[in-house]
Amino acid sequence: MRPIIVPPCQAACPINTDVRGYVSAIARGDAEEALRVIRRVNPLPSVCGRICTRRCETACRRAQVDAPVAIRALKRYAADLAIGQSFFTRPLSSYPEKVAIVGSGPSGLVAAHDLALLGYSVTLFEARPVLGGLLSEGIPKYRLPKEIVQREIGAIVSLGIEVKTGVRFGKEVSLDGLLWDFDAVFIAVGSGKGIVPQCDGVDLSGVFSGVDFLKEVDRGDRQAPGRRVVVIGGGHTAIDAARTCIRLGVSEVTVVYRRSLEEMPAGKEEVLRAEEEGVRFVYCAAPIRFIGKTRVERVRFARTALGEPEESGRRRPVPLEGSEFDLEADAVILAIGYAPDAEEIKEAGLKVGERGTIVVMDETGATDITGVFAAGDVVTGPMSVVDAMASGRKAAGAIHRYFRRIPDNAFDRLVSLRPLETSVTAAIQKSERQEPSLLPREQRTTSFDEVESALDHEQARREALRCLNCGAGATVDGECAACLNCVRVCPFGIPAMGAQTVEIDVAQCQACGICAAECPACAIHLKDDARYPMRPGVDRVLEKAREESPDIVVTGFYCCFRHPLGPPVERHALSWIPVLCLGRLRESDILYPFEVGAEGILLVSCRDEECRFGRGVRLLAERVERVKTILDDTGIGGSRLSVVAGDDECDRFIRGIERLGINPVRTGKRVAA
Amino acid sequence: MIVAEAKPFDEIKEMVNGYRKVLVLGCGSCVTVCMSGGQKEAELLAAALRIARGIERREATVDAKTILRQCDEEFVRQVRDELSSYDAVLSMACGAGVQGMNEWLRNVPVLPAMNTRFIGLCEGQGKWVEVCAACGDCVLGVTGGICPVTSCPKGILNGPCGGNKKGRCEVSPDVPCAWVLIYERMKERGKLEEFKKERAAKDWSKRQRPGRYTHRP
Ligand SMILES: Cc1cc2nc3c(=O)[nH]c(=O)nc-3n(C[C@H](O)[C@H](O)[C@H](O)COP(=O)(O)OP(=O)(O)OC[C@H]3O[C@@H](n4cnc5c(N)ncnc54)[C@H](O)[C@@H]3O)c2cc1C
Ligand code: SF4
Ligand code: SF4
């Protein structure tokens, strides 16, 4: 098991999504490829593109420069282009084993998806009439529209999964029964039971659990619980319950949390959204009593101070004596956590851990009963959608190995690149993060319409271009002559002399390609780039252009940072090749189109002082002069090559080429490649 | 390090005119370091020749390749068979490389694409300056580590001469006076006494050509 070094975003993602891969595809304008990259590991991309807890963004190294790349929004952008479209088909050959999956939340869905693709017959049991777990009933639709959830689930089920809704494990089916009919059972029933605080008056009517409340709202069984509602808690559930109350028409909603905003498990952004909608927040207060005759009327709180850090790393709230105060309330929503239903698990004969969870052996999800696996919130307690998905994936792999008797080898160990050094971050150009637009506030407080919209095309391209392409930088091969040109030319000071050859630290390289273009030995290669990365593109573009315009073909190279939306102008006879900074073009890249017959070449770069990599434009200018000399020497003529800025200049250049006529290489015999 | 620069394109084109199949052979040592004759330049020259021949409607193969050193037979031997399939090899090595190649290849003419210029130092990315004339009788020990034989256009051993104007040589305002530089350096090192001493004439017989060197005579 060798550690594989990956960008921090990928290492942080529980399903190890190739973030850089799909973000760079969006930057190139290839959203379809982006979606393919995402779908390789994620069958719920539109869901995750909306509500993922985005650990990738917390890890993103762009944050060292300004703000992390809006990775989640980019995922949504790509995923929404083809929601529910199937990317995979059921394999032709299949295995004889049958698997029962209990619970259709993200954990169960991913396990079902993976096992179906591996070729097993899968039956999905779900107690509720709808599939999806908390995605369908729980997470409010203003954050996660239900049609989207159903369309993505539809694509999963279409892999040939048998679905049995309205069947409750422990009631309609038992573990013994399932083990009789199936070769393995995977349990992912989630954490459905709200936790109730130990204080007087919790049994009063009007005091209820947040998760239950949200589920009921999604089922359409819930009206406004009162005029004044107090929500107790600081996680997703608390904020979701409060914002849902606003949408149901509750006029006064107060969230009370026992710690400070800093320690709140719900993100600051969510708190901000709730505040915009009129939710009031009270921090550092804990309930001590619910007061009322039969129905709750008031809640008594004590102020808290933050003491020593607890296991979770957050500081323990300690009630302060004599600090009590009351809040009036017609209804109280308890959102201080939820846990699995321990009774159900115990009855099935599974080992129950603390907080009612199922005890498993390791990350394969194997339980102490052979052939029975478990994962998701029922094992971990409340976590997140992507964690549930990851655990479902691991369990599916373990079930496959169990059937096929493949030893449980250790999983690939992905290790993150080191942080950027400050000398490097200081040299990186800043660029503003693109934020999705939000529904106007009036609409938010009166409807369950989705609040956040997708990034538009321009925003998506701009945002994708903010990615630093971590780990996709330069490598040096054995041809290195130790000439030190790269050491002298790198805008970030990264190449350094090693024992024999230059070494380029993959963790720091910014993948600008400048050193590779300058290397006199052609010994530097950008990761994933072929030896002549530009050539296939040039060949393709020229062939197509020649069909359309047999006489004059002009090839244009443009900088994606300058023109994120695509070619600067569209003209007949002009075919474009996008390049991430023209500073990576070598002289031979510029000469090549002439060799294969182009009449002219246009280069559209940034202004010198705006170059994303500082010196790309200056070096390009030097190389262009060199190529012009070669063109003059060979008889093609240097005036067929030009660096231009605006549309007018493009037109003028094309007219000039028309006057010059056909590339003399084409009128002569073809040259050998 | 040896610094060389490519000959004018027309001259090169003319030189290989009579050969159908040509290999542009870069050298992976000195000329790669000074950026004039490594793989990158070999590819560029080959492309330029292909274009020029294409325009002249001449069917021709012009390829590019680089070996680590053209001035040692062992390296050349490794590619002898491959090189023998060409009508001519256009060498981007220094004069030593071109001569060695001609000696060891025999059946294929090896032509020089470069003018070998000097022994020099890098003055910053892409710039080199001559610093050693290979005179055979080094004086750097008494000139503060700056060579007057190379850096002074007159090569005098007891300077500066009267042609020094504000630290510049009378030959050209672009040329700093080597002897002023030597003075500054020796002053900095507290060696002005030594600077004032007269330096005897050099033994120019050591420069008799062709030079020869034997490691353990
Ligand atoms: C209000 C709220 C908001 C949240 N917001 C986010 C968020 O923004 N981002 C995020 O990443 N995570 C969020 N989470 C957490 C996330 O929803 C869960 O971690 C995730 O859904 C767990 O997936 P799971 O598959 O383990 O279980 P669940 O999604 O809970 O699914 C379990 C399924 O099993 C079924 N089931 C239960 N018992 C039985 C039985 N006996 N027989 C048959 N079926 C049964 C249930 O009906 C359900 O369909 C939120 C959670 C809540 C409550
Ligand atoms: S900059 Fe790009 S590759 Fe680097 S961590 Fe952020 S998203 Fe990932
Ligand atoms: S690719 Fe750019 S950042 Fe990386 S080492 Fe080369 S010049 Fe430096």
Distance (angstroms) between ligand 2 centre and the Cα of A527 equals: 15
- pLDDT confidence of residue A89: 81
Interchain pair A591, B56: CB under 8 A:
no
Residues with CB under 6 A from ligand 3: A 473-474, 486, 490, 492, 494-495, 504, 509-515
Please tell me the predicted confidence (pLDDT) of residue A528.
Answer: 64
The arithmetic mean of pLDDT across residues B47-53, rounded, is 94
Residue A671 — pLDDT band, cuts 50, 70, 90? Answer: very low
Domain boundaries, chain A: 9-85+419-464, 98-191+339-404, 194-336, 474-530, 534-667
Token pair for residue A595? 């060799």
Q: What is the DSSP string of A479-546?
A: T-----HHHHH-TT---EE-SSSEE--TTT-----HHHHH-TT--EEETT--SSTTHHHHHHHHHHHH
Overall residue count recorded for chain B in this entry: 217
Encode burial over A198-229: b for 16+ CB neighbours within 10 A, e otherwise.
Answer: eeebbebebbbbbbbbbbebbeeebebbbebb
The answer, yes or no, to whether the previous bond of A495 is cis (omega within 30 of 0) is no
Whether omega before B210 lies within 30 degrees of 0, making that bond cis, reads yes
**Measured between CB atoms, which of A479, A592, A671 is closest to B28?**
A479
Domain ranges of chain B: 2-118, 133-207
Going from the Cα of A489 to the center of ligand 3, the distance in angstroms, rounded, reads 8
3-state secondary structure of A334: strand
Q: Does domain A98-191+339-404 have CATH number 3.20.20.70?
A: no
How does DSSP classify residue B34?
T
Pick A669's closest partner by Cβ from B51, B54, B62. B54
Cα A508 to middle of ligand 3, angstroms: 9
Rounded mean pLDDT of chain B? 94
**Quick check: helix, strand or coil at residue B12?**
helix
Phi/psi at A29 (5° precision): 90, 15
Residue A673 pLDDT greater than 50, yes or no:
no
Confidence of residue A530 (pLDDT cuts 50, 70, 90): low
Check pocket membership of A624 for ligand 1, CB cut-off 6 A.
no
| Closest CB from B28, B36, B48 relative to A481 | B28
What's the pLDDT at A592? 93
Nearest-CA distance A312 → chain B (Å): 54
Does residue A231 contact residue A248 with C-beta atoms inside 8 Å? Answer: no
Ligand 1 pocket member A103 (CB < 6 A): yes
At residue A623, the pLDDT reads: 96
Which CATH architecture is the domain A534-667 placed in?
Answer: 3-Layer(aba) Sandwich (3.40)
Which of A484, A588, A664 is closest, CB to CB, to B44?
Answer: A588
The residue-averaged pLDDT of B60-75 equals 94
- Residue A184 to residue A97: CA distance in whole angstroms: 8
Alpha carbon distance A124, A120 (integer Å): 12
List pLDDT tens digits, range A20-39.
999 999 998 888 999 999 99
Which residue among A168, A209, A384, A452 has the greatest number of ligand 1 atoms within 8 angstroms of its CB, and so is best to mutate?
A384
> Which position has the token pair 């993103």?
A60
The pLDDT tens digits of the residues spanning A257-283 come to 999 998 888 888 899 999 999 999 999
A485 in contact with B, Cβ within 8 Å: yes
A425-477 pLDDT tens trace: 999 999 999 999 999 999 999 999 999 999 999 999 999 999 999 999 999 99
**A122, pLDDT greater than 90:** yes
Distance between Cα B4 and ligand 3 center (Å):
27
pLDDT at B31: 97
CB B77 within 8 A of CB B50: no
Pairing relationship of beta strands A574-579 and A554-559 according to DSSP bridges: parallel
Q: CA distances (Å), A219 to each of A137, A140, A571, in order? A: 7, 11, 55
Q: What integer pLDDT is reported at residue A417 of this predicted model? A: 95
Residue B40 at interface with chain A, using a CB cutoff of 8 Å = yes
What is the identity of the amino acid at A300? Answer: R
CA A409 to chain centre: 28
Give residue-wise pLDDT tens across range A175-205.
Answer: 999 999 999 999 999 998 888 888 889 899 9
* Token pair in block for residue A163: 């679905």
Domains A194-336 and A474-530 share a fold: no
Confidence label for A669 from pLDDT (cuts 50, 70 and 90): very low
Residue B120, chain A, CB below 8 Å: the answer is: no
Ligand 3 centre to CA of A247 (Å) is 52
Kindly determine whether residue B48 and residue A634, on different chains, have CB atoms separated by under 8 Å: yes
Q: What is the mean pLDDT of residues B159-174?
A: 93
Q: Which atom of ligand 2 is nearest to the CA of A469?
A: 3
pLDDT band at A670 (very low <50, low <70, confident <90, very high): very low
Residue A58: partners with Cβ closer than 8 Å, 6 or more residues away? A12, A68
Ligand 1 and A189: CB distance under 6 A: yes
CA torsion sign, A150 to A156 to A160 to A166?
Answer: negative
DSSP designation for A70: -
C-beta atoms of A489 and B47 within 8 A? no
Q: How far is CA B185 from CA A91, A163, B147, B167, B192, in A?
A: 79, 88, 12, 13, 9
3-class DSSP state of B40: helix
Mean pLDDT, rounded, of chain A? 92
Pairing of strands A496-497, A474-476: unpaired
| Yes or no, beta carbons of B55 and A636 under 8 Å apart | yes
* Residue in chain B lying closest to A669 (CA): B57
Supply the DSSP symbol for A6: E
Check residue A573 and give its pLDDT: 81
Please answer yes or no on whether A669 and B124 come within 8 Å at the CB atom.
no
* % pLDDT > 70, chain A: 98
Bridge partner list, A162 = A123
Which one of 3.50.50.60, 3.40.50.300, 1.10.760.10, 3.90.280.10 gives the CATH number of domain A194-336?
Answer: 3.50.50.60
**Confidence grade of residue A672 (pLDDT, cut at 50, 70, 90):** very low
- According to CATH, the topology of domain A474-530 is Alpha-Beta Plaits (3.30.70)
Instruction: Say yes or no: CB of residue A69 within 6 Å of ligand 2.
Output: yes
Number of neighbouring beta carbons within 10 Å of residue A402: 18
Residue B214: pLDDT band with limits 50, 70, 90: confident
Nearest ligand, CA of residue A527? 3
Residue A28: predicted pLDDT: 86
Q: How far off is chain B from A394, nearest CA to CA, in Å? A: 48
Q: How confident is the model at residue B58 (pLDDT cuts 50, 70, 90)?
A: confident
Using the predicted structure, report yes or no on whether residue A84 has a pLDDT greater than 80.
no
ipTM exceeding the 0.85 mark: yes
For domain B2-118, which architecture applies?
3-Layer(aba) Sandwich (3.40)
Contact yes or no for A672 and B62 at CB 8 A: yes
CA A494 – ligand 3 centroid, Å: 7
CA-based max dimension of chain A? 101
**pLDDT confidence of residue A529:** 65
What is A9-85+419-464's CATH topology?
Fumarate Reductase Iron-sulfur Protein; Chain B, domain 2 (1.10.1060)
Region of poorest pLDDT, from A246-255, A274-283, B167-176, B208-217: B208-217
A612-637 pLDDT tens trace: 999 999 999 999 999 999 999 999 99
The residue of chain A with its CA nearest to that of B36 is A520
CA distances, A574 to each of A543, A566, A578, A640 (Å): 12, 13, 13, 13
Whole-prediction pTM: 0.90
Residue A440 exposed, middle or buried by CB count within 10 Å (0-12, 13-18, 19+): exposed
What is the per-residue pLDDT for A531? Answer: 67
